[in-house]
């Protein structure tokens, strides 16, 4: 199956209103171009240098989403052009995104990455932790150039679909709690409306459990060559 066939098959299977982020990390620009020629505009990347190079090479109407672990000292490389940073997992990172967004005269969309999986290694805030931070923060004062767009997360790597579904439901709950908590600050589901969960092995479960954006790499581009 070609990249085009894969994308068409996934698009057909996705319910209305679920966006597809094509995760193109480690894949050559030719494959991204094929996806682009087939109408794909949102691409997910996880390394600063790589996304910057691809941004410079490929058409400018692509929306680049950063989905990997982001060190604060690397924010400056992607701040001029990134459409969304999905992997925001600390206050320090938010402060730095604010600084770099302001420097570039931009507002940067972000998702709060939450940790709901069993694995120790998965990054992200614990849901309670992010609520505590947001409870004591005035968004418009501290992060005026950052727009909170929603929540991102990953389920455990397991074949147990019940467990995966439960973890996605935890993300959904955290999303709702954040929306409620921040509504007095003017946050509404008109803009805080991105629920990014579901990857190649679990996107079918994700779309049955509240996801509005799936991040799919392998099922589109094949195995990555590291």
What residues line the site for ligand PLP (CB under 6 A)? 23, 25, 46, 67-68, 199-200, 215-219
- Give the nearest distance from C-beta 199 to ligand PLP in angstroms: 4
Phi, psi of 24 (to 5 degrees): -110, 10
Q: Which residues pair with 113 in a beta bridge?
A: 152
- Give the nearest distance from C-beta 116 to ligand PLP in angstroms: 13
Phi, psi of 186 (to 5 degrees): 95, 0
Question: What does R_g of the chain's alpha carbons equal in angstroms?
Answer: 17
Cβ proximity to ligand PLP: between 23 and 182 the closer is 23
Cβ proximity to ligand PLP: between 143 and 197 the closer is 197
Residues 6+ apart with CB under 8 A from 182: 134, 139, 148, 192
Residue nearest to ligand PLP (CB): 217
- Give the nearest distance from C-beta 163 to ligand PLP in angstroms: 17
CA nearest to 84, candidates 104, 58, 110, 102 = 110
Cβ proximity to ligand PLP: between 46 and 182 the closer is 46
- Give the nearest distance from C-beta 105 to ligand PLP in angstroms: 28
Contact yes or no for 139/188 (Cβ under 8 A) = no
Cβ proximity to ligand PLP: between 36 and 66 the closer is 66
Cβ proximity to ligand PLP: between 195 and 215 the closer is 215
What are the helix (H) ranges across 29-143?
A: 29-37, 48-57, 75-78, 91-103, 127-135, 139-142
- Give the nearest distance from C-beta 99 to ligand PLP in angstroms: 24
């Amino acid at each position: 199956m070609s990249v085009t066939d894969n994308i068409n098959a996934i698009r057909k299977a996705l319910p209305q209103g679920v966006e597809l982020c094509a995760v193109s990390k480690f894949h050559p620009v030719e494959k991204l171009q094929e996806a682009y020629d087939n109408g794909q505009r949102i691409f997910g990347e996880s390394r600063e240098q790589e996304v910057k190079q691809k941004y410079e090479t490929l058409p400018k109407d692509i929306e680049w989403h950063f989905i990997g672990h982001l060190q604060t000292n690397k924010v400056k490389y992607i701040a001029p052009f990134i459409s969304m940073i999905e992997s925001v997992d600390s206050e320090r990172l938010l402060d730095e995104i604010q600084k770099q967004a302001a420097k570039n005269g931009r507002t940067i969309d972000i998702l709060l990455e939450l940790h709901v999986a069993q694995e120790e290694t998965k990054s992200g805030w614990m849901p309670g932790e992010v609520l505590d931070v947001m409870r004591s923060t005035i968004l418009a004062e501290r992060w005026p150039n950052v727009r909170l767009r929603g929540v991102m997360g990953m389920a455990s790597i397991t074949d147990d679909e019940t467990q995966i579904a439960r973890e996605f439901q935890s993300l959904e709950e955290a999303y709702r709690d954040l929306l409620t908590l921040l509504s007095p600050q003017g946050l509404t589901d008109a803009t805080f409306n991105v629920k990014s969960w579901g990857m190649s092995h679990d996107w079918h479960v994700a779309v049955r459990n509240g996801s509005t954006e799936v991040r799919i790499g392998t099922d589109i581009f094949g195995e990555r060559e590291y």
